[in-house]
Amino acid sequence: MKWKGWRKMSRKLSFIPYIPNYEFIKEQMQEDLKYRLTDRKRLTSLGRPLYERINVQIVMTQECPYNCPFCMERKNPMTGLFDAEQQILSLKKVLKEHPNARLTITGGEPGLYPEHVKKLVDVFKQNSNNVFVCINTAGYSTELNGIAHINLSVNDYVKPDYREFPDCTYQTVLIGNEMNISNIKKIINENNDAGSFSFRFLCDIENRNYDVSIWNDLQNDNKIKIDTFRIGDFFVYCTFDYNGKHARVTLGDMWQQTNNQYGNGYSNIIIHPDGKIGVNWK
């Protein structure tokens, strides 16, 4: 399927059009941003939200007992000291203006403070339309079970047992040419009793180019059924089914987000450890 006219079809596609190179994806990101900056008029105290179901991330703490060399939090640490009460106040403030927000509780390692995670999730449920909430963890504490959906980070440096987190999403960063279809299939086949899978590109704030072959390979593989494909202002993702499992490949282009000309628009919200509210990953 060609790109021609795809924007008239839908912003979320049920197939992956042929992608010639990463430049092409960057052009689509710019198109998406242009469209949103023209179309989105609603004004909040933070500016103009470019997505209705906007992603809110609480970077709950910078603390983490692990030491992954590619850790984005360590390379670009968020500001301030952990302030649980201020995080709750900020979350309530954000939800008042964004009742359809999706919430991710991340770190650092949220499992260091499971009681605070529970409080944040309760605040989210009581003060929003409860669209979706998840916790990013490297599996430090099973006390997180049952609080919200768990994205369990697995890599060469942290190897939690996903069986201790029933129905979790097995989430892993694939570096360089590890992001290939046979590797993805191997991981799904070898860990087939995990709930679902999330494969993420290793994204660095300086990186301006990525290998696009995975998108074309996913589309062309007859054992894979594409569910959704989307390019947003700084991200690309697709969801698909393989061997009875649901999976996702995501690329979040941090260079693009840092350099996009947002004006008063914003495509995500960050609540920092000290409760400061920022937008566009700042």
Residue closer to ligand SF4 by CB (options 109, 253) is 109
* Candidate list 105, 138, 152, 194; residue touching ligand SF4; CB under 6 A: 138
Residue closer to ligand SF4 by CB (options 128, 169) is 169
HSE (CB half, 13 Å, CA atoms) of 2? Answer: 2
- Is 68 a residue that touches ligand SF4 (CB under 6 A)? yes
Least distance (Å) between residue 70 CB and ligand SF4: 7
The contacts found for 231-240 with CB under 8 angstroms, 24 or more apart, are 231/25, 231/28, 231/29, 231/32, 232/29, 232/32, 232/51, 232/267, 233/29, 233/32, 233/33, 233/36, 233/50, 233/257, 233/260, 233/267, 234/29, 234/260, 234/267, 236/25, 238/16
Least distance (Å) between residue 137 CB and ligand SF4: 8
CA geometry: angle at 212 spanning 208 and 214, to 5°?
135
Residue closer to ligand SF4 by CB (options 171, 239) is 171
Least distance (Å) between residue 107 CB and ligand SF4: 5
> Which parts of 48-67 interact with ligand SF4 (CB under 6 A)?
64, 66-67
* Candidate list 46, 50, 57, 107; residue touching ligand SF4; CB under 6 A: 107
Least distance (Å) between residue 265 CB and ligand SF4: 29
CA geometry: angle at 207 spanning 202 and 209, to 5°?
95
Binding-site ranges for ligand SF4 (CB under 6 A): 64, 66-68, 71, 73-74, 107-109, 138, 153, 158
